Structure 1
Amino acid sequence: MGGNPIPKVNQIKHLVIKNDLKREKKLDLYVFGVGTDVNKEDMNGMVSQRDQEKHFFKLPNLDEVQKMFDSMLDESTSVGLCGIHHYDKDNNRRAYPWLAQINVARPPQSSNCMGSLVTSSYILTAAHCFKEGDTPERISVTLEKDLAVKVEKYILHPEYDITAKQHMGIKEYYEFNVALIKLKEAVPMSVNLRPICVPCTRETNGALKLSDSDGTCKKHEDLLMSNELVEASFTSQMEPSTDVPRKIRNITIKRGKYRDACVEDAKKAAGINVTNAKDAVTDNFLCSGGTEPSTDNVACRGETGGATYVNKKDQLIQVGVVSWGVKDLCSKRNPNPLSQADSRDYHANLFSEKIQSFLKEHLGNDNIDNPLSFF
């Protein structure tokens, strides 16, 4: 970029070594030279010298630098590095390494849902994807292409009860509509298989670059959900015979002055006959959709259970689970509809205390591989 790098190198060395030469072994200095006019000899005294290790890299252009960093940052054995994703034109799966599609066979038909890999052995999805009598053998999970995974069991949130408010005029009630699928074996972590971040965990604390003392559930919620309009996304189902989604659904989660109108539209859904919309949409839901102040995408059948996520510091953090909607606007002729003024989607809120308790009970006590560390 121009200028002499030696003064900066000396500052770095001084910061680490601090007059104690024994500390020099704790310092690794790498140099990346970009372009054709870089001479290796000019790097003498700048890079660290280690046997069997390379610290100087000469690369032809910035694209190669990006590839180099991507390969260096591929900590594929560390489950703790949640939410990392890369847009790679040669490997689309790298952008959605947490994405899961779930099929439950119920002859003559089957049920499809989406889900998210939240640890190497658990997938988070919606409780209504399952019915009484479903067995693990009927459940197939698609992650990375050609990877066969077997299901040990599914676990519904203990307070999920779709009939709980029928006496109030709510035919199907979706509060606490979350479930976990426990895999028989942990899947191997790689650039194509990596969990999405779950809030209120030390793993997400790292993704948000917070110190241990700053890590609290409230701090995470303040950082991720403080605006009245929170930009978020979820995905469509996967392309046939691939492991990537057909479409990304971009939404704004309505909070503050925008939330009441979003909740009120729940009364327009079929099977809901209530005076107070908050009977159907409690604080345990997030709300998206509508056309004000901008037009959202909306969910289609088969996309429930998927991760509602935000991009923070270029890492993906799940804040909700796609649960239910007011209108079905999707068709074969229009598989990617935009919202109408009163079409809304509701998402199980992962910051809900009772949903956090459920996740902590199971994901914090994962006996297969790496449990999450909840606050």
Structure 2
Amino acid sequence: MDISASIEEKHFNDAKNAVTKLIEKIASFTVTPNYEIVFFSSEVFEVVRILDFLDKKITLKAVLTELENFKIGEKNTGTDLNSVFTTFLERMAIIKQQVGEERFKEHRHVLIFFTDGAYNMGGSPAPTVEQIKNMVYMNQTGPQSNQSREEYLDIYIFAIGAEVFDSDLQPLATGIGDRHYYKMKDITNLQETFDDIIDEEEVKGLCGLHKDYETQNGNKRQRYPWWASITIKNQGLPRDCLGSLVTTKFVLTAAHCFTFEDLPKHVKVVIDDGQGKEKKIKTFKIHPQYNISAKVNKGVKEFYDYDVALIQLEEDVNISSAARPICIPCTQETSDALKLVGESTCKQQEDILLKTHLESLSFLTKKGITVHEKDVKAKIGDNRDDCIKHALEAPGIQTNDPKEVVTDNFLCTGGQEPTVDHISCKGDSGGAVYKNYEHRTIQVALVSWGTKDLCGSGGGVVNSDRTSRDFHINLFRVVPFLKSILGDDTLDYAPLTFLKS
């Protein structure tokens, strides 16, 4: 990052924030790159040394701390852009010497510069860039080579500043494709550009990845790439529910979306994965303990315990940034997303995801052809009893014990204290109740039932009143059912890896 006199402090701070977000984004992919971070003017300030990674002297947390703490001191009058490239060349040479040539061949090198390209010291960096290329390419580049190594080096230039020297900067950018040189008027939000840089193929198998912003055309598919629309048409009016893609072949939803007479041919699942929106259904499976009439004799007309079902699709969903599974509890995939090392447990995951007695969660509602996000606070621990008591006010409830209606398998949301929650509407049933954890989305529950219909016919984002409540099946409480199907490695689909405890 350029800190010479020609770079305004605003550009410096914006670049620093952009790099922080990029490092955090990469960390969410469960990969662990080594970093070298330098600021330069007439001299180079090594804030984070890549050699410290080889010696295991630094952690990712320390990298972000060092980056945050670096401040511009007195401005240097000169700018030596070549010295930065020379620093990188020297560090790469040391790495090659330490790891040996064969292991060095496996290293991928990504250099990202924020500069206006103006330099008055050190000469042109072009010859140094050629040396870097020669070190990485090993004379194996171009169409005539059977072992082209161009993909092992990317040099990205983000041109910033009041006056940019394009002719000097553009030739320094290199790599496969033409997206390596960016002229930036505003770098406050580079997330979309960084997502373009990142190779989707390398990370598409990871659950819970999503874009943290809406794309320019307003399509929310990439922000919530796991959401599915479900319609069941058998007898009478069609029933609409939401669901979540939990593997390439399974959609998780609520059991009460189905009736005893429904068959797979009556179920329509829509997931826009670029290969046809409507998905053919192979079968669906309802939790064996779900029984809506189980407590009629106890004054509970409709009992929604174990209100969970899985829909199996005929074919795998085409995974991309627009269609990708959400993470679910008690799987190794979720432990990776939470950065839990070693042999992790369900309890560890639950302690992270549902750690407070007022846990911020979200779920979706469909309005028209798009979805909108609703925000709630799950009342846990000491707050739970005061929340679930309002279940007694729901139609068809004639018991005085709220725990007969709302078992420990439910999370409770709604009301206006300490904040006004959103409330579920008809059609929200089965949708994921989730939280975002460092760029990964993890589902902790699914929308089951509520005490009041405050939405009217339009649905959408609606506020709770003082006593309205929603109850969501806590996925941590139905893991055996999920594991029996999604973790079965004897069938013709890729299973999830469930934790031992």
C-alpha contact 1:320 1:349 (8 A) present in aligned 2: yes
- The residue type paired with residue 139 of structure 1 is V
Q: Mind listing any 5+ residue stretches in structure 2 that lack a counterpart?
A: 2-38, 57-94, 119-123, 138-148, 158-181
Query: Secondary structure of the equivalent of 2:238?
Result: strand
Change (3 A) 1:148 1:332: closer
What residue number does 1:31 align with? 111
What residue number does 1:236 align with? 365
- Give the alignment partner of residue 361 of structure 1, picking from 484, 492, 496: 484
CA distance in 1, matches of 2:449, 2:125: 60
CA distance in 2, matches of 1:119, 1:334: 28
Change (3 A) 1:351 1:64: closer
- Give the alignment partner of residue 8 of structure 1, picking from 49, 54, 75: 49
- 1:344 paired with 2:469, answer yes
C-alpha contact 1:319 1:351 (8 A) present in aligned 2: yes
Query: Secondary structure of the equivalent of 1:94?
Result: coil
- Give the alignment partner of residue 228 of structure 2, picking from 100, 112, 116: 100
CA deviations 1:303-349 (Å, max 9, x no partner) are 11000001111211000010000111011477432111110000001
1:21, distance to aligned residue in structure 2 (A):
1.8
What residue number does 1:89 align with? 215
What residue number does 1:160 align with? 290
- 1:187 paired with 2:267, answer no
1:160, distance to aligned residue in structure 2 (A):
0.2
C-alpha contact 1:269 1:327 (8 A) present in aligned 2: yes
Change (3 A) 1:135 1:253: same
The TM-score, its normalising length taken from structure 1, stands at 0.91
- Judge which range, 114-123 or 54-63, deviates more: 54-63
Q: How does 1:287-298 map to 2 (within 5 A)?
A: 287-298=412-423
What residue number does 1:128 align with? 256
- In our comparison, the structure showing a higher alpha carbon Rg is 2
- Give the alignment partner of residue 19 of structure 1, picking from 84, 88, 98: 98
- 1:372 paired with 2:501, answer no
1:69, distance to aligned residue in structure 2 (A):
2.8
C-alpha contact 2:232 2:239 (8 A) present in aligned 1: yes
- Judge which range, 6-15 or 364-373, deviates more: 6-15
- The residue type paired with residue 364 of structure 1 is G
1:123, distance to aligned residue in structure 2 (A):
0.2
Q: Mind listing any 5+ residue stretches in structure 1 that lack a counterpart?
A: none
C-alpha contact 1:82 1:194 (8 A) present in aligned 2: yes
C-alpha contact 1:121 1:368 (8 A) present in aligned 2: no
What residue number does 2:245 align with? 117
Report the RMSD for the aligned CA atoms in angstroms.
2.4
By relative contact order (CA 8 Å, sep 6+), the higher-ranking structure is 1
- Give the alignment partner of residue 409 of structure 2, picking from 284, 307, 322: 284
- The residue type paired with residue 463 of structure 2 is L
What residue number does 1:264 align with? 389
CA distance in 2, matches of 1:108, 1:9: 65
- Judge which range, 96-105 or 31-40, deviates more: 31-40
- The residue type paired with residue 162 of structure 1 is I
- 1:56 paired with 2:173, answer no
Q: How does 1:303-342 map to 2 (within 5 A)?
A: 303-332=428-457, 335-342=460-467
CA deviations 1:287-316 (Å, max 9, x no partner) are 000111111000000111000001111211
- The residue type paired with residue 498 of structure 2 is F
The TM-score, its normalising length taken from structure 2, stands at 0.69
